Amino acid sequence: MCGIFACHRHPDVQKFKPTALQMGKAVRHRGPDWSGNVIANNTILVHERLSIVGIDSGAQPLVNEEGTISLAVNGEIYNHRVIRKQLKNKYNFKTNSDCEVIIPLYIEHDIDAPKHLDGMFSWVLHDKTQDRVLAARDPIGITTFYMGRSSSTPGAVYFASELKCLHPVCDDIISFPPGHIYDSKTDSLTQYYTPNWLMHPEDVPTTPIDYKLLRESLERSVRKRLMAEVPYGVLLSGGLDSSLVASIAQRETIRLNELAKQQASAVNGANGVQGDKLVGIDIDDKLATVQVLPELNSFSIGLPDAPDSKAAQEVADFLGTKHHSFTFTIEDGLNALSDVVYHLETYDVTTIRASTPMFLLSRKIKALGVKMVLSGEGSDEIFGGYLYFHAAPNAKELHAETVRRVKNLHLADCLRANKSTAAWGVEARVPFLDKHFLDVAMSIDPEEKMHTKDRIEKYIIRKAFDTEGEPDTAPYLPDKILWRQKEQFSDGVGYGWIDALKDNAKLHVSDDMLANPKREWVDQGDVPDTKEAYWYRLMFDEHFPPHAAKTVQRWIPTWGGQTDPSGRAIAVHANKYLTTS
């Protein structure tokens, strides 16, 4: 991940430049490899770079040959090579960066440019000739992005990767909506990502399940996300989603290594020289560059004897990945909480619970020299995988809830995955949120996603990767993992973690405090209902002013009646794990 900060139409941009550079520095953890800035007219773009693709030539902001268009991007464009081939007009590319294609796309398609992008991204583009800014965010909001205004500079508009860049200079901040583009020409946001399932959740899909299509769509999604020129790995919790991603990535790594050997052998035979380490992934003649690794790294973390750590080791042994299993103590987690809230920029209970071990793991990953990881976020929202979905009254309401959860991912699991890793200069990629895979998965008749006596949560994605009856296909996962019940990450790292958080919250928040919340919380209509939630809100307020709270959304399950978002609070979990232990 990279970090960006931008301001358009500042009344004195030269005087503002030192402040803008400081705001960019506030997200240097996202992009520790290089810093850059461009001023044009009264607009400034600041960029902090994490180099993953085009590492030797992709410094930003990017500027076209004429010097009239400048661009700052946080993200990865997986179809950049395809776009380069399909441009109608010749464009002289100055770098090998995947992001530079956004400039010619703007020249050819104007405000429709993001419709042509396949990837995760937040970007700000300035057209000097028109003195115009366009800013866009990827369809689901995988990359974090904020937009702000200031009463002291009423004509200006600000953008940044994180809240901490904006609250010192803006008194009105929003989370930039996913799938939208801002145009300063009209000073408005337009939704460019408009699939029917998202725009009309009341239209219940009727498409029958196609298990082969579902499997191939996810495989394709993982494959394109191996686009990197640096060491990469997979986050492996031992749950279904991360294990499937790891399995597919390992298969592709083995295939690529074999291809590289064949290429090297051919080159050596012809010229007596070493073969290139970079090979192409052929996706219907659409090439993406990847770093061929001798073996795939996988990473897990948990308290000693955590359920997920044991399952993750089983998966790693089965797949043959180079596995790194880390442990943390409850004290480690508690000591990190304030930093986690600072980096996550939220006070949502379930996000903080799950983010803390992920935050600690990301630091370990960075220390090993890995800069990009694949992760399994999004599957539970798409397939109704959370245990509270057992209480869904019917398929129509289940579908509406999956749509709602996907729409809000940018305030929850996407925010967690992006910021927990970016805090240490690591990039997380999420194959389940590929827009093509989403079109397939969200168009399936939701009756197929309902939990029944004979169907465990996420039955259809499990079934899609069940190779029983396919003698020529090796198993993707052991059956005990493929059919393992959902264990939410904050539970799976060790049940003592959540218990410790609740116990420590009681030490910091009294009954009287809980009964008499701060006046601004009451005015905002967002009053914590537990001591744990109150504790996190206090931490948030230590780092951010009251007006920043409008960018946060707290989550509780829609059905089931419980107030605690932990999966352990769901009866079906207790019946499965506790009564049989």
Binding site: residue ranges? 98, 235, 301, 375-376
The torsion angles phi and psi of 401, rounded to 5 degrees, stand at -70, -40
**Cα gap 410→427, rounded to integer Å:** 16
Give the tokens for residue 500. 């410790």
Q: Which residue, chain included where needed, has tokens 């090796």? A: 474
Active site (catalytic) residues:
2
Local structure of 42: helix, strand or coil: coil
Q: Give me the DSSP letters along 47-114.
A: EEE--SSSTTT--SSEE-TTS-EEEEEEEEETTHHHHHHH-SS--------GGGGHHHHHHHHGGGGG
Q: Which residues are annotated as a binding site for L-glutamine?
A: 98
User: How many CB atoms within 10 Å of residue 404?
Assistant: 12
Give the residue from 49, 189, 36, 45 showing the smallest Cα distance to 127: 45
Q: Is the CB of residue 142 less than 8 Å from the CB of residue 77?
A: no
User: How many CB atoms within 10 Å of residue 129?
Assistant: 10
Residue 254 contacts by C-beta under 8 Å, 6 or more apart in sequence?
A: none
Which residues are bridge partners to 134 per DSSP?
A: 125, 183
CA dihedral for 463, 466, 470, 472, sign (positive or negative): positive
Question: What is the torsion angle, in degrees rounded to the nearest 10, for the CA atoms of residue 375, residue 378, residue 382 and residue 384?
Answer: 100
- Beta strands 157-160 and 172-175, pairing class: unpaired
Give the residue from 382, 344, 400, 325 showing the smallest Cα distance to 536: 344
Give the tokens for residue 523. 């005015």
∠ CA 564-568-572 to the nearest 5 degrees?
A: 115
Q: Which residue, chain included where needed, has tokens 């829609």? A: 558
Amino acid present at 327: T
CA dihedral for 17, 23, 25, 28, sign (positive or negative): negative
Give the tokens for residue 101. 């294609």
The torsion angles phi and psi of 558, rounded to 5 degrees, stand at -75, -40
Q: Which residue, chain included where needed, has tokens 């000693």? A: 304
The torsion angles phi and psi of 236, rounded to 5 degrees, stand at -125, 100
HEC profile for 329-393? Answer: CHHHHHHHHHHHHHHHCCCCHHHHHHHHHHHHHHHHHHHCCCCEEECCCCHHHHHCCCHHHHHCC
Q: Which residues are annotated as a binding site for ATP?
A: 235, 301, 375-376
Residue-wise over 493-530: b if at least 16 C-beta within 10 A, else e?
A: bbbbbbebbeebbeeebeeeebeeebeebeeeebebee
